[in-house]
Amino acid sequence: TCSLLRSPKGFPKLKNDTFLRAARGEETEHTPVWCMRQAGRYLPEFRETRASQDFFATCRSPKLCCELTLQPLRRFPLDAAIIFSDILVVPQALGMEVVMVPGKGPTFTEPLKEVEDLLKLRQKVDVTAELGYVFQAITLTRHSLEGKVPLIGFSGAPWTLMSYMIEGGGSTTMAKAKSWLYRHPEASHRLLRLLADVIIDYLVGQVAAGAQALQLFESHAGHLGPELFQDFALPYIRDIAQAVKSKLKEEALPLVPMIIFAKDAHYALRDLAHAGYEVVGLDWTIRPQEARAQVGKDVTLQGNLDPCALYAPKEKIGELVKKMLESFGTQRYIANLGHGLYPDMNPEHVGAFVEAVHAHSRHINKH
């Protein structure tokens, strides 16, 4: 139950730390598993809870975020929870208006068009004032989890957020946002820097509120090639890891494991492996052995079952999971999908995925 807001102190003792151990590269009896978008519309109880609510109003309600975060854990023996929120709360904190349009998705009422538009953004963001509702949701959920599993906090990465802020929503080409990188490189760096600074404070605030791991989503990495990624994405990804860690130390907060998930960025895997993150998340378009060869032995991998595999019959899901575990190995590995769950997926198939990871990894570890 998600009642009673208690202080960030005195959190319940963690009972299942498999996910955190795997993230840090320690040995685990089974391979931990969680799913991106595990709190979502594929669950009837999620649709019921969210039915009458505006999407971003839901994000601003700690009680509802807590309830939605806990729903998948009531059904499945997942090894981690991820706070229910959205990456676009950061542009909102910078003063931009985002609305959820049915059938279209998130839409910015006034996207950035010209370099001058950067002046409309808040240049200094007090994350507690602007995003305190996320911190409250994390604290409340951490208590309500009762130590069952660790709680993951997250943010979008600067390039991904910049692309939304310029495109005004989703896009198949990101041509408007990429045109900034080519036409206005200095202004692009100004915007990316502003975003990075807010993200650093936001992630540190999430740990202070009770997050036990952090994931950075560079969901639009695939729209960049190696050169643009090297110039406009990687430096900020690196900087965020470094700055978050040094601020956590300064503030005597726990040094939590950090995950970088740069979708469709195989061209950058080696760089991402050295970017300061304990875990590198993978989409489904790369072979596990190839990813392992590129990142080396000192980083945990996370991923990478094709989400659409969950449309397969349950037995087939089990076979695919077994193959995935054999390819990655059961250690220094966190099982996940290569992207989020889709709204029309059958919850039973999600359950089959989670159970297959546990069963097959235990079996492989014994033999």
Catalytic positions are 37, 41, 50, 86, 164
The number of beta carbons lying within 10 Å of the beta carbon of residue 116 is 9
* CA–CA gap between residue 313 and residue 274 (Å, rounded): 38
Q: Which two tokens stand for residue 30?
A: 């089974």
- With beta carbons less than 8 A apart as the criterion, state whether 330 and 18 touch: no
Residue 16 in 3-state DSSP? coil
Long-range contacts of range 339-342, CB-CB < 8 Å, 24 or more positions apart? 339/36, 339/263, 339/283, 339/284, 339/307, 340/35, 340/36, 340/37, 340/40, 340/307, 341/35, 341/36, 341/37, 341/38, 341/40, 341/42, 341/307, 341/310, 342/42, 342/307, 342/308
Q: Is the dihedral of CA 31, 37, 39, 40 positive or negative?
A: negative
DSSP bridge pairs for 303: 335
CB neighbour list of residue 312: distance below 8 Å, 6 or more residues apart: 320, 349
Helix (H) / strand (E) element for 301: namely: strand 300-305
* CA–CA gap between residue 31 and residue 224 (Å, rounded): 32
DSSP bridge pairs for 260: 216, 280
